[in-house]
Structure 1
Amino acid sequence: MLTTNIIILILGFIGLVISADKFVYGAAGLARNLGISPLVIGLTIVAMGSSAPEMMVAVSASLNGSPNTAIGNAIGSNITNITLVLGITALIKPLLVGSTTIRREIPMVLITTLLAGVVLWDLKLEMYEGVILLLLFFITILTLTILALKRPSNDPLTQEHDDEVPEGVPTRTAVAWLVFGIIALPVSSHFLVGSAVVIAQHFGMSDLVIGLTIIAVGTSLPELAASISGVLKGEDDLVIGNIIGSNIFNILAVLSLPGILAPGMIDPAIISRDFYYMLGATVLMLVMAMGFRGRPGRITRVEGGILLAGFFVYQFIVFSSI
């Protein structure tokens, strides 16, 4: 029984990663064929696609009566994106933040992180709070798009988005992959969450812990793959931008879903432990990436090592609480 569920968990992760990738590929290819700017596609479809695994897991977990798994996945994914994904990426190659737009948008991550603390502080996630977060999600997409369209034409992020958005994809192929992603994403997440709950119960882990750790790492695999690929191509700003976008969307879109679908009390550890770790990681990324006194933001290998060490420290803290 346990072995079967571990196999289902692994296959669920694989299916989630592949379906999310094909969903983004199909949607971005179709949007480009319809004449939408690559920059806008990158900031909307591609950015939302990187959070698609977390969103599907949040829906499945909430509908299965495990909202703490959904909340843990949102918070755990943000911690994982900063400490594991950004840490490994900076170890491969130091990241230079050359885009003025990125440095202007980084504080938005801090604002949304603090907003998560406000929403969860009373140890309840209400339906109206979920609705507010979802509305802020759409407002944020609109704001980021407007800011992007106003950015200088020589901003490095503009060219990096143009290079990454697929071009020349036949419309029929794009639609096929889009439909495949729409079907495969919820199916993969359903089996992933179901098997994860069984495994967690077998080892005496709470719904929250499984969401913060195993599921969070699994749903962050697309960000890790994209970041490693991006840094090897020299697309440093795109790497930082994807992580910023994913973390903002995880708070506003992913966290909104358990509030709407399964409102109620939350695990106290979310506020007493996990929120503060997420906030600390976010502030650390902000300090590293912003740059001060005219110095461009730069995340060095040493700083990447610090971030990666923070990931393992957090895993130890969480598993020690079991």
Structure 2
Amino acid sequence: MVYLFLGASLVVILIGAKFFTNGVEWLGVRLGLARGAVGSVLAAIGTALPETMIPLVAILMGHGQASQDIGVGAILGAPFMLGTVGFMLAGMMTILLIRRRRRAVLLPHPALVRRDLGFFLMAYSLAIGAAFLPQALRPVVVVLLLAAYIAFVARALSQGEKCGEGDDVGPLLAVPQMANPPLVLILLQVVFSFMVILGGAKVFVHGIGILAHTFGVAPFIFALLIAPIATEMPELFNSLIWIREGKDTLALGNITGAMVFQSSIVPAIGISFTAWQLTPAAFVSAALALTSAWIVFLTVRRRGYLYGPLLFLMGAGFYAFFVTMVISGAL
């Protein structure tokens, strides 16, 4: 029965993601936003809410060390999952859709990818480095992370060409017969589809939690490895849909924009309300996420594109390495 619920929730998330991406694109057109802002800010923040709720609930409403472990694990699990499984799936889609796309590469706007990942590398390094600082200095890190994200959003909202320029946005799925839908219908589709995604992710998390309890998985490992699989699904499904439609800037921006959010706002919560004492497993997961981001950053900077098969191998390899270390007891 658990597996049936897991499968059904995946279908719900996929349908919700289809409507959400379509609605967010139309919202970007209506508001005259830059294309990079749609993927890196609107879609990224919206779909980041499910995984943000896990550490918030665990840290602020939970009790005991287990709740602290779940909170910190969820905070670190999101960037790790995006930097490994996220890139892996993006690369896999280019392989599966090579006939449709007629290429095995992703061609996002290089400057936008460099902007997002440059921020991630700076902010996440700062957040991890806070674990080595005395408690009195950590509020300074929190302020820096929050201020940096505000500056990032301000820049993203104005940088790049407008959403819809050179893209086939397609009709609003809620009212496909309307060529120029009103803003209220666009907002209703975005909000409703997000609630559908959130509901599907909640069911999936519950099912994964039952399986974790059944197999005796430790709270920190559950939060780091298992929960993000469900909570990152909105970002991943959105990106896969955009890759299928050939909208690589939106697809990569959704992943890298979520990494920006998960490297600044969410760690600021953990640094503020927990002891922020990281385990070896936490440091290794952070190192892998940062290494993955560095590789993508340097590749885009040097070549201007991402080769799908190599992106797939990198993400899969890093994730498999970490899981192997955990299973073997090395971490």
Q: Report the Cα distance in structure 2 between the residues aligned to 1:194 and 1:128, rounded to whole angstroms.
A: 36
Matched, 1:211 2:208: no
Equivalent position amino acid for 1:37 in 2: L
SS at 2:236's partner residue?
helix
Equivalent residues in 2 for 1:139-154, closer than 5 Å: 139-146=151-158, 148=159, 151=160
Partner of 1:82: 83
Determine what percentage of the aligned residue pairs are the same residue.
18
Contact 1:20 1:185 in 2 (8 A): yes
Contact 2:126 2:141 in 1 (8 A): no
Partner of 2:47: 50
Matched, 1:276 2:284: no
Q: Report the Cα distance in structure 1 between the residues aligned to 2:16 and 2:130, rounded to whole angstroms.
A: 31
Structure 1, 185-194 or 274-283: larger mean CA deviation: 185-194
SS at 2:216's partner residue?
coil
Partner of 1:315: 323
Q: Report the Cα distance in structure 2 between the residues aligned to 1:287 and 1:182, rounded to whole angstroms.
A: 33
Q: What TM-score results when the alignment is normalised by the length of structure 2?
A: 0.72
Q: Report the Cα distance in structure 1 between the residues aligned to 2:325 and 2:14, rounded to whole angstroms.
A: 27
Matched, 1:109 2:120: yes
Q: CA deviation at 1:184?
A: 6.9
Contact 1:42 1:161 in 2 (8 A): no
Contact 2:46 2:194 in 1 (8 A): no
Equivalent position amino acid for 2:275 in 1: G
Change (3 A) 1:23 1:240: closer
Equivalent position amino acid for 2:307 in 1: I
Contact 2:124 2:264 in 1 (8 A): no
What residue ranges of structure 1 are gaps of 5+ in the alignment?
Answer: none
Q: What TM-score results when the alignment is normalised by the length of structure 1?
A: 0.74
What residue ranges of structure 2 are gaps of 5+ in the alignment?
Answer: 95-103, 173-178
RMSD: 4.0
Structure 1, 123-132 or 198-207: larger mean CA deviation: 123-132
Matched, 1:61 2:73: no
Q: CA deviation at 1:245?
A: 0.9
Q: Deviations over 1:89-145 (max 9, x none)?
A: 223323344524225413222212212221233597966654543343222211222
Matched, 1:120 2:117: no
